[in-house]
Amino acid sequence: MRFVHVSIRAKDMDKSIDFYSKHFGMRLERRREIKANDAEIAFLTSEGSDLRLELTHYRKQKAFDQAPYEDRAWDHLAFEVEDMKAVMEKLKKENVTVTDEPFRLGPDGPLIAFIEDPVGVLIELIERRP
């Protein structure tokens, strides 16, 4: 398993991209729609690092200070896995909470799933196509 990115939620994608670009020297790597959950994501990189910051804007999220979102400006950690099926079987045997079973992001996209750590931190698992 390899740690690949951290995701935070953005109220306004353009403002967030501008903020991290202007103040931290990050550059926009890619930006795309995620129709499955009515969201938009953007990945920013920093020179000299393989890690990425993912900004996630959920269109249906109106307020960051009301349930169920009040503590969720933080979104998730992401780890790349080589064999999603094997990893999921192992996690389920160990009674890890699975919030989203594996699904593909578009016909040519990666296979992703979401689990929770012991205190509820959301973790994305990503299996990229060879």
What is the model's pTM? 0.68
**Mean pLDDT over residues 69-95, rounded?**
84
Give dist(CA 69, CA 88) in Å, integer.
27
Give dist(CA 34, CA 32) in Å, integer.
7
Residue in 9, 100, 102 with CA at minimum distance from that of residue 62: 9
The answer on pLDDT for 1 being more than 70 is yes
Q: What percent of the chain has pLDDT over 90?
A: 40
Residue in 120, 124, 115 with CA at minimum distance from that of residue 79: 124
Beta bridge partners of 114: 100, 124
pLDDT at 49: 84
Is 40 annotated as catalytic? no
Catalytic residue among 47, 94, 116, 124: 124
pLDDT at 71: 56
Sign of torsion over alpha carbons 5, 7, 20, 14: positive
Q: Judge: domain 81-130, CATH 3.10.180.10.
A: yes
The answer on pLDDT for 117 being more than 60 is yes
Q: How far is CA 55 from the centre of its chain?
A: 8
Residue in 13, 8, 19 with CA at minimum distance from that of residue 76: 8
For the chain, residues classed under CATH 3.10.180.10 are: 1-75, 81-130
pLDDT digits (tens, 9 = 90+) for 4-39: 898 888 888 999 898 888 977 889 999 999 888 889
**Mean pLDDT over residues 73-95, rounded?**
89
- What is the fold of 1-75? 2,3-Dihydroxybiphenyl 1,2-Dioxygenase; domain 1 (3.10.180)
The answer on pLDDT for 79 being more than 70 is yes
